[in-house]
């Protein structure tokens, strides 16, 4: 007697092996049989004409906070995701001391685009250890979760206000190593950190992890060498990696005897971006020759970016804009309304920066508007408006933003949804130096919509363009990430594995429209989008999505290193 039998489906098992027609039998949360099954079951799913896959794994998310107010971790499961890894970029909310909660939530609001009101009202902030925090979430979520241990959180807890502006003393470094050890022993997946220039705290200063020495990073990475099933995640830079940073991430990986993944390689037809991409990928070759393993994450879909002067994220990476974008709202408004300060700000933005292309103001399209004065501009580009009114683009932009009290949604052009760029993506996925990932789901809630990346990949690259097979694509988002993180008995449709399973209708598979959804604590909103074609999504044998909608089941497990992960050593 089975709990569920999925009958007559086309099995794409995650390993890359050829598809086959078979039934899948599930009992007690496990896959117990695959083949022609004659037994009975409480639940029979007719998968005729459907693709049956393992649940997808998203290795770069920021669901740490959202998990406290949204037990579905939406919208990821609507896109076939059954396992996520959070705690990336050094930004975790544990371990914690009471006096540091306010700083951490304001830092998250700044760097990860989570509304401050939601963090204040939706997260209790009343735990101490990493293990206590994991325990709060265990058994409450729809999907499986694992979390890295974040450098900035550890640094703040050990060093207090010295975490910003100072390197650690030998004593502080030893205390951080001890705290990391304890957090990993309590289930942390490994160590994460960031030196990204876009990562600034609520005062406009670089986040705590950006103030550390090379030696601190290497020594903290070395802690992972003592713990089975751990890994490293680190962003060494935005843009081209210097030789020094390539050497640093190599030394971190070698010291830990663990793979290090970084975010993000983008698919582009731009010669300049191709040059940066190829240069950064060579870091993997350099590391391989020196006892390390470096993996670049690549998000498998076009990226639509929504900019906002209200939070200033991404804009603060422009030359000279870090401090201005950290100003209080009233001061920021006064600056943008002042002709002289506008001119100075615009001149700064044209200076050297890895993200200087963001300052092409004329291509930005006005999205959400919040004032009567701006009604006439919605849906138009800044360049079109400037040409019609005979004014400079930046002046037009500033006036619109000031009218809306900084809240205007400004959309960059969608790039990379053409055949040539999709072919580049397919080539990148096949490169052993990369891994599909980097959605940032749970973060940048008013900026990015890459939470739908798995559906976008399958629809555009597999179904519409036939650039990769179902077998290849599913492997990239199931078994491959499971192996990189050493996640045990997930990522494949194999007897004895946990029953994380998708039943997908390829004739219906598509994205739903992106919308602004006001469903966050504090009456805040987020960009949101689901999918069509996920007839059933099972996690640990329980159905969490049926006909593209959530069920009430919450069978997700809190995954802990050394218990739910094994291996990942390089030797």
pLDDT tens figures, 347-368: 999 999 888 889 999 999 999 9
pLDDT of residue 6: 98
Whether residue 7 is found in the same domain as residue 88: no
Question: Do 136 and 558 contact (CB within 8 A), yes or no?
Answer: no
Number of other CB atoms surrounding residue 439 within 10 Å: 29
**CATH number, residue 180:** 3.20.20.140
- Residue 67 in this model has a pLDDT that exceeds 90: yes
Residue 563 belongs to a domain: no
Mean pLDDT of 249-276: 95
Residue 557 belongs to a domain: no
pLDDT of residue 376: 96
Whether residue 346 is found in the same domain as residue 467: no
DSSP states along 222-274:
HHGGGSTT-EEEEE--SSSPPHHHHHHHHHHHHHHTS-EEEE-------HHHH
436: which strand partners? Answer: 298
- Residue 507 in this model has a pLDDT that exceeds 80: yes
As a whole number of angstroms, the distance between CA 400 and CA 386 comes to 11
Number of other CB atoms surrounding residue 236 within 10 Å: 22
Query: What distance, in Å, lies between the first and last C-alpha atoms of the chain?
Result: 44
Query: Poorest-confidence range of 120-124, 305-309, 346-350?
Result: 305-309
Residue 558 belongs to a domain: no
pLDDT of residue 355: 84
Whether residue 49 is found in the same domain as residue 61: no
- Residue 61 in this model has a pLDDT that exceeds 80: yes
- Residue 214 in this model has a pLDDT that exceeds 80: yes
- Strand, helix or coil for residue 278: helix
- How far CA 564 is from CA of 48, 173, 188, 483, 502, in Å, comes to 33, 29, 11, 12, 21
Question: Do 486 and 346 contact (CB within 8 A), yes or no?
Answer: no
Whether residue 324 is found in the same domain as residue 186: no
Whether residue 166 is found in the same domain as residue 117: yes
pLDDT band, very low/low/confident/very high, at 39 (cuts 50, 70, 90)? confident
Mean pLDDT of 471-479: 98
Whether residue 537 is found in the same domain as residue 467: no
Domain count, the chain: 3
Residues of the domain holding 526 = 2-54+501-550
Number of other CB atoms surrounding residue 347 within 10 Å: 12
Whether residue 206 is found in the same domain as residue 330: no
pLDDT band, very low/low/confident/very high, at 225 (cuts 50, 70, 90)? very high
pLDDT of residue 34: 98
Last residue of a domain, one of 436, 453, 485: 485
Whether residue 123 is found in the same domain as residue 153: yes
Whether residue 25 is found in the same domain as residue 84: no
Question: Do 232 and 248 contact (CB within 8 A), yes or no?
Answer: no
Whether residue 138 is found in the same domain as residue 163: yes
Residue 219 structure tokens: 């020594």
- Would you report the helix, strand and coil content of the chain in percent, each value rounded to 5? 40, 20, 40
- Residue 174 in this model has a pLDDT that exceeds 90: yes
DSSP states along 27-42:
ETTEEEEEE-----EE
- Residue 516 in this model has a pLDDT that exceeds 90: no
As a whole number of angstroms, the distance between CA 283 and CA 106 comes to 33
Mean pLDDT of 459-468: 98
pLDDT tens figures, 133-173: 999 999 999 999 999 999 999 999 999 999 999 999 999 99
pLDDT of residue 451: 97
pLDDT of residue 488: 98
Last residue of a domain, one of 363, 394, 411: 411
pLDDT of residue 515: 87
As a whole number of angstroms, the distance between CA 166 and CA 120 comes to 28
pLDDT tens figures, 396-444: 999 999 999 999 999 998 889 999 999 999 999 999 999 999 999 999 9
Residue 567 belongs to a domain: no
**CATH number, residue 24:** 2.30.40.10
Residue 571 belongs to a domain: no
pLDDT band, very low/low/confident/very high, at 457 (cuts 50, 70, 90)? very high
Residue 75 belongs to a domain: yes
As a whole number of angstroms, the distance between CA 94 and CA 371 comes to 40
As a whole number of angstroms, the distance between CA 567 and CA 571 comes to 10
Provide the mean pLDDT of the chain.
96
Whether residue 169 is found in the same domain as residue 83: yes
Whether residue 112 is found in the same domain as residue 72: yes
As a whole number of angstroms, the distance between CA 302 and CA 461 comes to 12
Chain centre distance of CA 218: 24
Residue 432 structure tokens: 């052993």
Mean pLDDT of 85-98: 98
- Residue 571 in this model has a pLDDT that exceeds 80: no
- Residue 38 in this model has a pLDDT that exceeds 80: yes
Question: Do 112 and 526 contact (CB within 8 A), yes or no?
Answer: no
Residue reference for tokens 């962003």: 235
Residue 25 belongs to a domain: yes
């Amino acid at each position: 007697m089975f709990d569920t039998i999925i009958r007559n489906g086309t099995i794409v098992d995650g390993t890359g092996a050829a598809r086959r027609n078979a039934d899948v039998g599930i009992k007690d949360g496990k896959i117990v049989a695959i083949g022609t099954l004659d037994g009975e079951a409480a639940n029979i799913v007719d998968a005729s004409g459907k693709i049956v896959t393992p649940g997808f794994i998203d290795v770069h998310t920021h669901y740490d906070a959202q998990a406290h107010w949204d037990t579905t971790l939406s919208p990821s499961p609507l896109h076939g995701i059954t396992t996520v890894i959070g705690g990336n970029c050094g930004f975790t909310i544990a371990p914690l001391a009471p006096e540091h909660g306010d700083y951490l939530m304001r830092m998250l609001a700044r760097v990860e685009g989570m509304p401050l009101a939601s963090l204040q009202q939706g997260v209790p902030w009343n735990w101490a250890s990493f293990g206590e925090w994991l325990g709060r979430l265990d058994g409450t979520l729809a999907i499986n979760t694992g979390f890295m241990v974040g450098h900035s959180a550890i640094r703040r807890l050990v060093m207090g206000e010295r975490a910003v502006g100072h390197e650690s003393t030998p004593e502080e470094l030893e205390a951080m190593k001890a705290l990391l050890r304890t957090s990993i022993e309590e289930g942390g997946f490994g160590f994460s950190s960031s030196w990204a220039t876009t990562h600034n705290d609520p005062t406009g200063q670089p986040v705590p992890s950006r103030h550390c020495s090379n030696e601190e990073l290497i020594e903290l990475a070395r802690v992972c060498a003592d713990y089975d099933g751990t890994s490293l995640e680190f962003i060494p830079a935005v843009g081209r990696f210097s030789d020094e940073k390539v050497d640093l991430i190599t030394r971190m990986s070698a010291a830990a005897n663990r793979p290090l993944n970084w975010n993000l390689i983008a698919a582009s037809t731009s010669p300049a971006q191709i040059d940066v991409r190829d240069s950064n990928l060579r870091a993997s070759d350099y590391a391989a020759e020196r006892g390390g393993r470096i993996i670049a994450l690549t998000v498998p879909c076009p990226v639509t970016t929504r900019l906002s002067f209200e939070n200033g994220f991404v804009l603060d990476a422009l030359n000279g804009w870090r401090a201005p974008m950290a100003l209080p709202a009233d001061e920021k408004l006064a600056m943008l309304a002042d002709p002289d300060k506008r001119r100075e700000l615009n001149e700064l933005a044209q200076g050297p920066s890895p993200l200087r292309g963001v300052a092409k103001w004329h291509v930005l399209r006005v999205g959400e508007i919040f004032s009567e004065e701006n009604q006439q501009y919605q849906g138009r580009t800044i360049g079109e408006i400037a040409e019609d009114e005979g004014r400079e683009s930046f002046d037009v932009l500033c006036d619109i933003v000031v009218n809306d009290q900084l809240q205007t949604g400004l959309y960059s052009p969608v790039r990379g949804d053409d055949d040539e760029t999709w072919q580049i993506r397919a080539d990148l996925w096949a490169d052993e130096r990369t891994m599909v990932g980097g959605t940032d789901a749970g973060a940048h809630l008013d900026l990015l919509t890459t939470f739908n990346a798995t559906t976008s990949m399958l629809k555009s690259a597999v179904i519409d363009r036939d650039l990769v097979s179902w077998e290849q694509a599913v492997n990239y988002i199931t078994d491959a990430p499971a192996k990189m993180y050493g996640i045990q008995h997930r990522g494949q449709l194999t007897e004895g594995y946990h029953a994380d399973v998708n039943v997908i209708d390829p004739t219906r598979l598509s994205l739903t429209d992106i919308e602004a959804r006001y469903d966050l604590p504090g009456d805040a909103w987020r960009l949101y989008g689901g999918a069509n074609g996920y007839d059933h999504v099972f996690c640990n044998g329980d159905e969490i999505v049926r006909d593209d909608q959530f069920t009430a089941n919450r069978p997700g497990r809190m995954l802990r290193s050394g218990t739910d992960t094994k291996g990942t050593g390089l030797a």
